[in-house]
Each structure stands twice: as C-alpha cells, then as structure tokens.
Structure 1
Amino acid sequence: MTGPDRSGGGGVPAGVVVLTDRRQALRPLVDVVRDAVTGGARWVVLRERDLPRDVRLQLADELRTVLATVGGTLVVAGPDPLGGDAVHLPAADSEPMSPEVRLVGRSCHNADELSQLSGVDYVTLSPVFPTGSKPGYGPALGTDGLAQLVRRTRTPVLALGGITTPEQVTACRAAGAGGVAVMGAVMRAGDPAALVGALLAAAVGR
C-alpha cells in the first residue's frame, strides 16, 4: 500500500512526528500540538485510545484544524480513522479498518514483528532509547539495533522511544530511519515549538 502525496511531509510520515499523550502534557493537548506545529511538525499521531469515541472524534477535529493551517496530517492510533484517512496500528492489531483509510502505519519492536508486515506504508521501531513512556517492550534497541532492523525492511521507518535531543535524532537518521516519532519530550516541553524546531533541524540535516 502506498500513501497519497501530502504537503508538509510527502507520502509517509517523516521528519519529526508528534505522538499525543494528554497525561504528560503540561498544558491542554491542542495547545501543545499547536505549538509543535508552529515549530515545524507536520505529522501528528492522536493516541488517547481510552477516551470515548465522541470525545476522541472532537479532539481529532480540533487537531486537524490546527494541522490544516500548514498542510499537515493527523494519523489516528487504532483502526477507526475518526473521519480521516490515516491510522497507526499496534503490531498485532487485526481489527477491520474503515474503507476510507489510505495510509497505514504499524508499531514494531523486533525482527519477528517486522517479518509479518503486510499492507503498511510505514513502521515505527521502538524503543530506541530507554523511555518511561512505553515500558514492557524489552531493552532499548540502541542505534545499532535500530540499524539492524532497518536493514531488514524496505518499509519506511520512524525511530521511536526516548528521543529528546537533536544528537539522538542525528544518530537515528544515521542508522537509516526516515524520521523520528516523539511523545514525552514534546508533551512535557516548556516550549514545544523550540524543541520540535531543534529536533527537526537535526532530522533534515540543517
């Protein structure tokens, strides 16, 4: 499956992709995302899967409005795109998806999960660095482990997990990742725009 060409990020997520977590956000989630977009983020993954669908739908609408100002794209975690056309699934998620879905990402953590990929446009590999946001997936891959997994797939890869500095972004790019996905660092940042700007500069080699 190949995603459509989208302004602000091309056909698949790249650069710095922001994952939401309202529990870590220092301010209202939409405000944090708005600042991240100001800093250059053009892809956002809406998580918050514990919220009722109607609440999550409203949140998706608000985030799409923010992203629309820069031609960005909202990806929704889970098979329901909440009125959009892009979803991100867990490694083992087999729930049926809406026929409107045109862009599919999947989370992977090891070679076995990578080998089972089918019909996806991109994949996240995690955790690359130690992180408290996503415990339970074993030891951190490190950039060497990331590079080994990147070589096993032709699917575009986003590095995820424990990424907080431009130096880490540069290392992930050197390992073959097409970009990075960042959650906790952006959610907890006092200035999300400045952080995203610094990470994005490293992601694109500025």
Structure 2
Amino acid sequence: MTMRLVVITQPGFGAGEAETIRELLDGGIDRVHLRKPFAPEAAMRRLLDRLDPAVLPRITLQDCLGLAAEYGAGGVHLNARHPEPPQGFRGLVSRSCHSLEELEEHAADDYLFLSPIFDSISKVGYTARFTAESLLEAAARGIVNDRVLALGGVRPEYLPRIRAYGFGGAALMGCIWQAADAGTLSATLGAIRKYRNEE
C-alpha cells in the first residue's frame, strides 16, 4: 500500500504560499493541511481564493473550519481548538493524537496524526515521545495502522522506518518549509518520492 503523505503549513501566511501548495500537490504530496492557529477568517479566505479550485478537494482546514463547505475543501482537522467538525460536513475528518489511548478513542475518524514520533524540526524542545518498541507493539495490536500518520520530526529518509513501524503514512512540516525557504523544495520532494517507495 502506498504511504499517505500530508504536508502541514506554517502558522503564518507567506508570500507565494498558494504556489508552493500547488507545487507540493503536483510533486507527490497527497493532501495539504492549512494550519493557521487563530487566523482571521479574512486572511484564510485570501489564501483559499488564491488556490486553484481543482486542488481544493485535497486541502484540509485545521482552522476556520466553517469555510470548508463554502470553498469545497476536502477535509477538516480536529484538535483542542476545534474538537468537532462543522455541522453537516461530509468530507474527510482527521485528528491530532498524542497518545496510543487517543488513537483508540478516535478510531472512527478517517485518519489520525500521532506525535511526536521524532524530535521536532520546527518546535524547540518538542522531542520524540514513543520508542520503536512501543510503536511496533501498538502496530501488532492494530492501534497503529494504515489510518495513522506519523508526525513530528519527519524527514524523507525516515519514511521506510515509519512504514516499518506500521504507520500508513506521515505528515511533514519542518523539512518542507525549510526546503521551500532555501529554494530546494523540488529536491526534497524528489527525496520523498524515492524513500516513499522503499521498503
């Protein structure tokens, strides 16, 4: 089974962000999560208005969830700020989890993030919470499965290990935006495609 790969945006709004999102989706990323904590709705609308309508089904909103149906976004992501999907929403529902118990509690959601799996690239002091042994045991029990994505410190070269731990994919953040800032995003996407297919 092909790994599901998601990119989470930076919290701020950046110049050329809509174009970068298109590059990500064209370059092998399955979904982009717009994570903009406490963003004004007007700012989120400006970003959504810049996106090609054809890519909106592959966009998940982590904030301003009420805009999902209006814009045709394909998913909403639940967390402490937004614990419930908008009433009547019919797209994908994902959720952030930080323990194996949370994974079990929310097993009915379409897919789940478990974090932090590795030491964070973008958050200082946000270190890995799970051992390889605990993840392999959770996979053997069916708690970590193809609907659970590894989050936290994920780099392209870690994808084979993530697959071996039993995850169905990964969510990337720091390695993507560092590459975008450095002008090396296409090389990073090439590495992702390479490692995604390695056993």
TM range (shorter): 0.7 to 0.9
CA deviations over 1:63-103 (Å, ceiling 9, x no partner) = 354736xxx61111144353324111116843451313321
Q: With structure 1 as the length reference, what TM-score do the two structures score? A: 0.76
Residue 197 (structure 2) pairs with residue 204 (structure 1): yes
The equivalent of 1:44 in structure 2 is: 32
For residues 119 and 135 of structure 1, the distance between their equivalents in structure 2, rounded to whole angstroms, comes to 32
Residue 174 (structure 2) pairs with residue 188 (structure 1): no
Q: With structure 2 as the length reference, what TM-score do the two structures score? A: 0.78
- RMSD of the TM alignment (CA)? 3.0
Alignment of 1:105-116 (within 5 A): 105-116=94-105
From 38, 44, 51, give the equivalent of 1:63.
51
Q: CA deviation at 1:51?
A: 1.5
For residues 49 and 135 of structure 2, the distance between their equivalents in structure 1, rounded to whole angstroms, comes to 34
Change (3 A) 1:85 1:36: closer
Retained in 1: the 8 A contact 2:146–2:169? no
Q: CA deviation at 1:35?
A: 2.7
Q: CA deviation at 1:62?
A: 2.7
Please list every run of 5 or more consecutive structure 1 residues that lacks an aligned counterpart in the other structure: 1-9
2:60 corresponds to which letter in structure 1? V
2:66 corresponds to which letter in structure 1? D
Retained in 1: the 8 A contact 2:113–2:148? yes
From 71, 74, 80, give the equivalent of 2:59.
74
The equivalent of 1:162 in structure 2 is: 153
State the structure with bigger RCO (CA 8 A, min sep 6), 1 or 2: 1
Identical aligned residues as a percent: 30
Please list every run of 5 or more consecutive structure 2 residues that lacks an aligned counterpart in the other structure: none
Higher helix share: 2
The equivalent of 1:146 in structure 2 is: 135
- Three-state SS of the structure 2 residue aligned to 1:88 is strand
CA deviations over 1:96-136 (Å, ceiling 9, x no partner) = 51313321001111122123215310101111100153567
1:62 corresponds to which letter in structure 2? R
Retained in 1: the 8 A contact 2:61–2:77? yes
